[in-house]
Structure 1
Amino acid sequence: MPQSYQTQASDDSGKRQEPTIVIGIDFGTTYSGVAWTTSSRPGHINIITNWNAVKSHCSDKEKVPSAIYYDNKGEVFWGYSIPEKISSPKIEWFKLCLLEERDIPKNIRNAAQIQAAQKSLKESNRRVVDVISDYLRELWKHSIVNIRRAIGGQLVDISRFKVIVTLPAIWPAYAQLRMLEAIEKAGILETRAAGDTILEFLSEPEAAALATIKDMCTYSMVNMEVGDHFVVCDAGGGTVDVITYTVIKTDPIRVKESVKGDGKLCGATFLDEMFLTTLRRKLDKVSLDAWKILEEKGVLSRIIHNDWENGIKPQFRNTDQHWLLQMPSSGSSKKRTHDQFRFTDIKISAKDAQNIFKPTVGEIETLVIDQAKTVKRKYKKEPKFLVLVGGFGRQPFLYTRLQDQLNRKKSQEEKTELLQGSGAEPWTAVCRGAVIRGLELSEDTTESTGTTIPVGESVEKGFHRDLVIPATTIETTFIYSTENAPSNRCDETVKELCDVRWSSVPDFDSLPTWINPIGDVIRRVNYDVKMTSNGVTLDFEIIYNNQVMASKKIGIDYGRCGSTVNQALGASGSDEDSGED
């Protein structure tokens, strides 16, 4: 997705800028979060020094579980508000159900979490887009309540909203479009008196990179020089994304993408799956009904929360340490005494822990090493830093493994330094004094060729059409090329993108004329084409005499170099084509 983010100087015109609240939504596979700030320039993400994390409902934490539950009456419970005792399973991991089965790696397709999510969706007779919209609606309502409480309802009511939603870099375009549909259904873009809500999409590794730059700006930039590269690895619950940036300026720091982002479904939750598999195997050796007993006594949830989530998982460092999981006896007594737990402990050895961690960590190693190798091949130098962010990114075993793999057989001067992000706050979209120059229009670029549109902004170009005789309809065809140096002719590298039909035809006799070389009088229609991208769709408008004559919104698969997406934005499942009066 082409992205551009910039700091903006204060307005010297003396005009008062309308207030804007910028809201970042990090919808994750396992946890979600929201952060917000105020800005005086709605068209840009301003110099923002302080993002405010929305506290979770029923909790003081900055992120909330991506889980939802519908009771028998259809009432929605979400996050931490889901009751402990429920009549049917809550729906989790539904974010990944946006993907078609063919796009989920085979080894992950059979994961218990994915299968449970698909089963829950089927049993509830709900589409995944509708479940996501229900979840986002509750998250959004809770966030707005928090923001109103913080700055006052009056300021919220007169402020425009700019919403930035993160998406996995590895998602195919159809999944991005489904996410857009869920956002619209959630009411996030509903009409407000303060003006239209601006929506932009941001890939998750880019969001992580921006948050990382914020930390770098906060501390020291002594070791960062122009031309240095740093890899950002955003390791979350479900997905792990990597991307590499290079520094193009240090004061203030300015960076641009130097290696295309990549990612896999190899987040921390796959460790959970391996742990439960290991535990069940050990319990089966004790008794075939041991697992059932643990579930009935509520001990399994205690083991997962205390021994695993807050014990082995964040602490494992590949040492000789072992862990004892306290088990209840298989007796019929309901009284839980110390003696019941005393002699039936299950041991998780260092070898067990290695077997749990190594497959998933190995996939992350491959992602990171591939990025580093690409930097070396393209730029003849090693990346200077690897920055680990995300919840899983703080795991010590992951840190040491990546450090060993990256710096094996390297001299001291070639070594890549590893940094670990801190905190569990949702990723925010910008940092003070930092600029990511992704693919934005260069200052010295004046031609259409090579122009890339910053997300949330528009590019407008003039065109004309000649008429010899009056026309009853006018259609405009948009074409594209995936070549680095597009052809000036419609050869095999040029392909059709879409057609749009004008809502009306200009009066033929009122059009300006010119005479061609053979003496024919030609009428000319001069018009402008405006194109806007939010990172997932392209919006086209054809403007004649300051009126919109036609518009079209289409999904673009940026990963496939401009090919259109078959899945639709409209209810009918086709591209939206509207002539406006």
Structure 2
Amino acid sequence: MKSHHTKQEPDWYISVDFGTTFTTVAFYRRGTPIERIHTIDNFPGEKQHNQTHRQIPTEIWYPKKDAYPFGLIKQRDNRMRFGNEVHRMAEGDEGVDVRKIYDDADRISMMKLLLDKSDYAQASKQRLQKTLESIKAKGHIDEDEDIFFHFFREIFRASKTRLGSDFDEKSIVEVTFCVPVCYSPSAVAVLGAQVERAMHDVQFGTDGQSPCNIFVVHEAEAQAMRALTESLNELDRGETFVLADCGGGTLDIGIYTVALTEPLRLGSEVNEPMAMVGAGDLNDGFRSLVKSILCKELYLENGDVTIHSIISAEVMFKFENDTKRSFQYKDTEETYSFRIRGLRKSRSDDRIQENFLVLTYEDIWNIFRLTVKEIGSMIEDAVMNAKTTGYMVSKIVIVGGFGDSPCLQSYLLEKKDRIAKKLGSPLKLRFSLKNMSAISVATGATMRAVNKASGPSRIPCQSIGILRHIPCDQTEEYSADVLSQESKRNDQEGADYILNTILWVVKKDETARINFYKLDHPYNAGKTMEIGAVEFDISNLKQTIRTANRRTGETIDKAVILVELTVIDRNLEFTARWPPKPEGEVIQGSRKFFSVASAFTPGTQ
């Protein structure tokens, strides 16, 4: 097997922050100033077309299996929805008739949890698995990971449109996807395979046959690139900091050291337990509060209009896009109004006014309290745990969409002073630039992809092998233990073969994998996953090979080809030759590619 690098630079760098609840896509065009990293905005279903730095929900929704056009429903309406479209559908913005062809049981959210094998978020994982079984039974997917393919396919399809006329089929594209530090190589491989599959399907930077350029970055390194770049003059090599990713559904905290400051590279890390806490909790708390206040205002309901639908259509949008983003921790006299058409003034509850629901500071603070306090407590635990393991934290860096919250920021500024006193050492608290926390991973990943210098050594963290059927022939160089495995007779050849043995072509280390043991052998059982298959079409050589066989005395039609494997950058190339020798002719159309980006530590060039 050969290995070499290509020199062609991408025209476009595309980075995907595939979050638990929200996803961001950033892009950069080669040759422009590095400061000009933008995000893909105005995805299908977007309500606020005038805003930038927007994320989309990490959700897809499949239509009912037996749904057909009726009434005002057109055939084009009967399709899988993704991102913003899912939320618009849930809020009833697409119309009552369209909503009827979608079952709540077929809505996929928090799909990223499928890749997390830890004990955390078990309840959410069980709900996800139940939904996957439902849509699998209805024929929407064959395998669980198909949901990733469907989501990325729509992401790339929309991105091609949003990039405009400067992007065409000749554009060279590198896609970077981000993964948590805690992900196993197999989880990265699953995600990478679906990214590659989606790129081929949409022909995003590939004609569907040529290799895909894929790069993998740890979320923490991407976050740090964005959040700390503005204050590089404050960083010292060897310095330790806590990075808290406050997202929509999860809180992810890590302790990192600075390995290099130019370019910024992270060293050793300690990961704290993740927690199911985030901005999404505020939505749930707010919805429950409003529902409890309006539960007796039954005059508002009429036919398909219910208290629940009123909250979704008239109240949640303002909370999500205004109140939640602007609520101040210390504005104790502030009130918050939400228009509800037809609402009548209540004699028993001052919050219920004519056409308006008016909430107090205490109402909103009670929604925020548990979430911000839990985040503060977990950050404190991380700082103190670092001290016990020999790391003295000097900075706390807050990233993630919820990191922009004025309430959370004010609370953490107070909390930081208490932590510093307990630590006995000064602490600095750093936030991303205003309204940039949510996109810090995607934009930071783009910065990391553009500058790959001083990354990890090119040492595999995952072994990659190919399946081979080997003959039970003592003249071959196989050990006695290998040849003792169960074999199967090939009646045409009159020979025995051991089927589905593995030849490891990329090894994690010299002792990681032993060649030519069967897939179900104890060496391999339960430790492997299929990342793809290669088929070579030799039908046009059928007569040529048959004639050559007769000349050598072969009595059966037997095709022997030489398959060359070459690692090119982060791709594994397969090329077939016949006759089966190095100088043999390349079989037309036999060049096949797989991305093996997941086989190397994220950040490897």
TM-score band (shorter)? 0.5 to 0.7
Q: Name the aligned partner's letter for residue 40 of structure 2.
A: V
1:147 Cα deviation from its structure 2 partner: 2.7
1:107-506 alignment runs, 5 A limit: 108=124, 121=135, 126-127=140-141, 129-149=145-165, 152-153=166-167, 156-169=168-181, 176-188=188-200, 191-192=206-207, 195-217=210-232, 221=233, 223-260=234-271, 263-284=274-295, 286-287=296-297, 295=307, 298=310, 300-312=312-324, 314-321=326-333, 323-326=335-338, 328=340, 342-343=353-354, 346=357, 348-381=359-392, 383-408=393-418, 410-411=420-421, 414-422=425-433, 423-424=435-436, 425=439, 427-428=442-443, 429-431=445-447, 440-441=456-457, 452-453=459-460, 469-471=475-477
CA distance in 2, matches of 1:18, 1:530: 20
- 2:410 maps to amino acid: T
Whether contact under 8 Å (1:231, 1:385) holds in the other structure is yes
Q: Deviations over 1:493-548 (max 9, x none)?
A: x9766799xx9xxxxxxxxxxxxxxxxxxxxxxxx9988997xxx97999997999
CA distance in 2, matches of 1:357, 1:148: 40
Please give the alpha-carbon distance, in whole angstroms, between the structure 2 residues aligned to 1:432 and 1:97.
25
Counterparts in 2 of 1:481 and 1:36: CA distance versus 1, 3 Å: closer
Q: Distance in 1 between matches of 2:134 and 2:301?
A: 22
Shift of 1:558: 11
Whole-Å separation in 2 of the counterparts to 1:273 and 1:280: 11
SS in 2 for 1:227: coil
Matches within 5 A, 1:539-578: none
Deviation at 1:276, TM superposition (A): 1.5
One-letter amino acid matched to 1:75: R
Q: CA deviation at 1:391?
A: 1.5
Q: Residues of 1 paired with 2:42 and 2:186: CA distance?
A: 30
Structure 1 residue 34 and structure 2 residue 30: aligned? Answer: no
Return the alpha-carbon distance in structure 1 between the equivalents of residues 265 and 597 of structure 2.
Answer: 30
**Partners of 1:104 and 1:252 in 2: CA distance:** 34
Distance 1:546 1:315, change over 3 A: farther
Contact 2:120-2:275 at 8 Å conserved across structures: no
Measured at CA, do residues 406 and 119 of structure 1 come closer, stay the same or move farther in structure 2, by a change above 3 Å? Answer: farther
**Which amino acid is the alignment partner of residue 314 of structure 2?**
R
CA distance in 2, matches of 1:184, 1:271: 35
Please, which runs of 5 or more residues in structure 2 have no aligned partner?
A: 64-68, 70-74, 345-350, 465-472, 479-496, 515-521, 536-563, 587-592
- Give 1:432 deviation, angstroms: 8.2
Residues 225-280 of structure 1: per-residue CA shift (max 9 Å, x gap) = 22222222222222332233323344554442433475333221122112212222
Report SS of the residue matched to 1:237. Answer: coil
User: 1:157 Cα deviation (Å)?
Assistant: 3.4
Rate the CA distance shift 1:274–1:430 in 2: closer, same or farther, 3 A. same
Cα distance in 1 for residues equivalent to 2:112 and 2:249: 8
- Aligned-residue offset at 1:24: 0.7
Asked whether the 8 Å contact 2:15–2:176 carries over to 1, the reply is: yes
The answer (yes or no) to whether the contact 2:460–2:506 under 8 Å persists in 1 is no
Contact 1:282 1:346 in 2 (8 A): no
Separation in structure 1 between the aligned mates of residue 373 and residue 418 of structure 2, nearest angstrom: 15
- What is the alpha-carbon distance in structure 1 between the residues aligned to residue 319 and residue 36 of structure 2? 36
1:65 lines up with 2:56 in the alignment = yes
What letter is aligned with 2:155? L
- TM-superposed CA distance for 1:392, in Å, is 0.3
Distance, in Å, in 2 between the alignment partners of 1:353 and 1:110 is 31
Q: Distance in 1 between matches of 2:152 and 2:140?
A: 15
CA pair 419-296 structure 1, distance change in 2 beyond 3 A: closer
Structure 1 segments unaligned to the other structure (5+ residues): 1-10, 41-45, 333-339, 442-450, 459-466, 504-527, 560-581
SS at match of 2:420: coil
Cα contact 2:16–2:25 (8 A) shared by 1: yes
Q: Tell me the CA shift for residue 317 of structure 1.
A: 0.9
The corresponding residue for 1:54 is 40
Residue 394 of structure 1 aligns with an amino acid whose one-letter code is D
CA distance in 2 between counterparts of 1:110 and 1:323 reads 39
1:180 to 1:351, Cα distance in 2 relative to 1, 3 A: same
CA 1:495–1:406 in structure 2 vs 1: closer, same or farther (change >3 Å)?
farther
Q: Distance in 2 between matches of 1:306 and 1:322?
A: 16
CA distance in 1, matches of 2:196, 2:117: 24
Q: Mean alpha-carbon deviation: is it higher for 179-188 or for 385-394?
A: 179-188
- The CA deviation at 1:142 is 1.9
SS of match in other structure, 1:384: strand
Shift in alpha-carbon separation, 1:139–1:541, aligned structure 2, 3 A: closer
Partner of 1:35: helix, strand, or coil?
strand
Alignment correspondent of 2:79: 75
* Contact kept in structure 2, 1:477 and 1:499, CA below 8 Å: no
Contact 1:97 1:117 in 2 (8 A): no
What's the offset of the Cα at 1:555?
Answer: 12
SS of 2:36's equivalent in the other structure is coil
TM-score (norm 1): 0.63
> Residue 589 of structure 2 corresponds to which residue in structure 1?
none
Provide, for residues 100-154 of structure 1, a one-character-per-residue CA deviation record: whole Å limited to 9, x for no partner.
Answer: 899562565699xx699779857965346444433322221221233342xx24x
Offset at residue 387 of structure 1 (A): 1.6
- Tell me how far 1:399 sits from its aligned partner: 2.2
C-alpha spacing 1:197/1:390, structure 2 compared with 1 (3 Å): same
Taking the aligned partners of 2:569 and 2:367, their CA distance within structure 1 comes to: 42
- Cα distance change of structure 1 residues 130 and 418 upon mapping to structure 2, 3 Å threshold: same
CA distance in structure 2 between the aligned counterparts of 1:157 and 1:402, rounded to whole angstroms: 48
Aligned-partner residue type, residue 397 of structure 1: C
- The CA deviation at 1:200 is 2.7
Provide the alpha-carbon RMSD of the alignment: 5.7
Q: 2:19 is paired with a residue of what secondary structure?
A: coil
The Cα shift of 1:163 comes to: 0.9
User: What amino acid sits opposite 2:15 in the alignment?
Assistant: G
Give the total of aligned pairs.
Answer: 477
Per-residue deviation, 1:37: 2.1
Moved more, 274-283 or 361-370: 361-370
Amino acid at match of 1:105: A
